[in-house]
Amino acid sequence: MMPSTKIINQGQNRLILCEGMDAVGKTSTITKAITLLNQDYQNHATHEHYSYSKGLRSKGIIGAINHMTPSTLTLLLELYVHDKQIIRPLSESGESIIMDRGYGTIITYHTPTLIQEYCKKIYDKIYTLLTQPVVLVYFETSLEERMKRLYARNDFNDRIFKDPTSIIIEREQRMRQWYESFSGKKQCINTTEKSVEESALQLYELIRK
């Protein structure tokens, strides 16, 4: 568990990174949590204002490419450009940012062999240039609930349709390993059998404590 201390302190960058696989409830949870956080700002309960930022597959040319034909290298490029053009200016202006997806998504996107052989050196170099989060929030849910949500959204590519359970488990394991290896502050939010409001309140309390 994370110590009960304020996440964002004076002089720190102001980035909170949220990671997790598809259909775990990240985006809806973040959106509602930001509403709660900014209500506190409007009521003068805090001096921190929060912005939502889509770290990957965002609007723009590179984001459009990654929507259609994502690859490790183009995702890294998008993240670097996003960090330079969006995250750093917002952070330097005093804005707090909750980013939906980042480098954890990239390194779990392809097989470890591909990353090791073709992308490791480039990834390590770009990683050192990125704004580091003050906290990593990892979202997860049960396999049964993820499958239900993915089927409801028809959110499978051809490879996953052939063997959905094994591919999902494989990617989930790589994401979890990355989360466990993260050396900074981190917290896991499990959305299984929780409403969006319940998950958002948990994220809100994590940030505000």
What digits encode the pLDDT tens for the residues 9-65?
444 568 999 999 888 999 999 999 999 999 999 998 888 999 999 998 777 788 888
Q: What is the mean pLDDT of residues 76-100?
A: 92
In a domain, 4, yes or no: no
Mean pLDDT of the chain, nearest integer: 82
Helix (H) or strand (E) holding 188: strand 186-190
Question: Domain tally for the chain?
Answer: 1
pLDDT of residue 198: 97
In a domain, 19, yes or no: yes
**Do 187 and 138 meet the contact criterion of CB atoms below 8 Å apart?**
yes
pLDDT of residue 159: 47
pLDDT of residue 134: 92
pTM of the model: 0.84
pLDDT of residue 1: 36
Distance CA 79, CA 82 (A): 5
Distance CA 50, CA 6 (A): 15
Q: What is the CATH number of the domain that holds 142?
A: 3.40.50.300
In a domain, 3, yes or no: no
pLDDT of residue 119: 64
In a domain, 10, yes or no: no
In a domain, 51, yes or no: yes
Strand order in the sheet with 96-100: 50-54, 96-100, 15-20, 135-140, 186-190
In a domain, 7, yes or no: no
pLDDT of residue 4: 36
Range of 124's domain? Answer: 15-208
